[in-house]
Amino acid sequence: MKRKVLLIYTGGTIGMEKNYETGALMPFNFSNIFSKIPEMKLLECEVSVHSFEKPLDSSDLGPAEWKQIANYIGKNYGSYDGFLILHGTDTMSYTASALSFMLKGLRKPVILTGSQLPIGDLRTDAKENLLTSLYYASLYENEEAVVQEVAVYFEYKLLRGNRTLKYSAEYFDAYQSPNYPILGQSGVHLNIEKDFLYRSAADVSFSVDPHISQEVLFWRIFPGMTLDYFTEIPKMKVLILQVFGSGTIFSSEKTEKVLRKIRENGAEIVVVTQCISGGITFGKYENSDIFNRIGAISGKDMTAESAITKAMHLLDNANYEGTFAHHFSQNLRGEFSE
């Protein structure tokens, strides 16, 4: 039986071609994708294409489009076996993370991919990314989808979406998930690491919760930074602080005073690390103990993208009874290591 995949094209380099006379990149009509990659017809799956009316550079893609994609998947969930989202690479990790929280009880693959070079370029990486993503998006065993989560496929690697970050603007190998193993790898054989795949709890059925709040602020600290700005920001509900190493911050009296003031004003403080790999351990050093004292929330080894979109999803979300701190500390979709 041919599996059915819904391909959603949002924009980005993958959908562009080069005008070899002018050298300029231009979007091409994505419904013609089959003429660009005739090999798609050889795949053992049936692909339907839904293209954004206006393809977007992924820096223009945000909450409105995340909701649009999540709802579109929700609407078509019963009619397709898998979903493939073609996306610009710049913010793909944000979209993948946001979707992982919006899509609950997922039992089908939702794969995101893009490319560093346009599909019409002679040396393009788009073709491999697209074809292998379609393979993973339609991979079933014993009538069950093998991948049942939001994943990113890029340059021979399948990664958990909410663990990814774009780490190179240059190399084809642009994505990493430094704190979680690779879910699958494409070489001579297409491998899948079954032990690392996410599975929703058996009693949770599929639903879409597109809730996203934009009252989340993210700040990276640096030596010598003045903290005064923080107390001037009105309506701050969640401040995600990206701090040094395993959770340290300069230990001045001012730091304690300002962070306490933020908490007294009712804002939550989530702490994530500036390091690419590893995570937060409050109290490991004296200079991180302050976060215990003020009741901050540890972002553990979550990526910044994941912590931001998780906070956006949970803040003021009526579907989550109880405190923000409680829900933020739960592992909702395998976004941090236990």
Instruction: Give catalytic residue positions.
Output: 13
Residues numbered 83 to 142 that lie near ligand ASP (CB under 6 A) are: 88-90, 114, 116
Judged by beta carbon, residue 113 or residue 248, the one nearer ligand ASP is 113
Between CA 217 and CA 315 the distance in angstroms is: 12
Judged by beta carbon, residue 92 or residue 139, the one nearer ligand ASP is 92
Determine contact, residues 304/90, Cβ cutoff 8 Å: no
- Sheet containing 238-243: give its strands across: 216-220, 238-243, 268-273, 297-298
Could you tell me the smallest distance in angstroms from the CB atom of residue 130 to ligand ASP? 13
Could you tell me the smallest distance in angstroms from the CB atom of residue 89 to ligand ASP? 3
Could you tell me the smallest distance in angstroms from the CB atom of residue 80 to ligand ASP? 24
Could you tell me the smallest distance in angstroms from the CB atom of residue 18 to ligand ASP? 14
Work out whether 57 is an interface residue with ligand ASP (CB under 6 A).
yes
Judged by beta carbon, residue 94 or residue 336, the one nearer ligand ASP is 94
Total number of residues binding ligand ASP (CB under 6 A)?
10
Could you tell me the smallest distance in angstroms from the CB atom of residue 99 to ligand ASP? 16
Could you tell me the smallest distance in angstroms from the CB atom of residue 166 to ligand ASP? 9
Residues numbered 7 to 26 that lie near ligand ASP (CB under 6 A) are: 11-13
Between CA 63 and CA 40 the distance in angstroms is: 31
Judged by beta carbon, residue 91 or residue 179, the one nearer ligand ASP is 91
Work out whether 58 is an interface residue with ligand ASP (CB under 6 A).
yes
Burial code (b: 16+ CB inside 10 Å, e: under 16) for 250-287 equals beeeebeebbeebbeeebbbbbbbebeeebbebeeeeb
Q: Which window, 5-13, 96-104, 198-206, 297-305, contacts ligand ASP (CB under 6 A)?
A: 5-13
The three-point CA angle 131-135-140 to 5° equals: 170
Judged by beta carbon, residue 12 or residue 109, the one nearer ligand ASP is 12
Work out whether 27 is an interface residue with ligand ASP (CB under 6 A).
no
Judged by beta carbon, residue 12 or residue 247, the one nearer ligand ASP is 12
Residues numbered 203 to 232 that lie near ligand ASP (CB under 6 A) are: none
Q: Based on C-alpha coordinates, what's the Rg of the chain?
A: 21
List of residues contacting ligand ASP (CB under 6 A):
11-13, 57-58, 88-90, 114, 116
